[in-house]
Amino acid sequence: MRIAIVIATLVLVAGCTIDAPPQPGQPGRGESFSGSVSAFRSGGDLEIRSNRGRTCWGTYRYANRSGRGIFRCDDGEFGPFKFTVPAQGRTATGTVTLADQPYPLTIRS
């Protein structure tokens, strides 16, 4: 009887997925966003996708190696984003803020 209970429990647990709890100081509770642009210009449109499948669209303004704008996501959430491009880089990093929660953002050109 005990063996049957153990086997049934293992079968149930094997089908479960568990998100790891966020680590202290880890923004976004493990969710991050990324996208790409052909070049960083004075502004433009940007589409990003999270590592959990959420897609967001927005328009940005860019000057002095930094950009900012507002995104709207396919789940109805919206909020500001900002990014910075290093002087010798083609990859910008920043944050997207949705429902007062910051999420990491990476944009490649």
CB 103 within 8 A of CB 31: yes
Using pLDDT thresholds of 50, 70 and 90, give the confidence band for residue 21: very low
Instruction: Give the pLDDT band (50/70/90) at residue 23.
Output: very low
Of residues 95 and 23, the one with the higher pLDDT is: 95
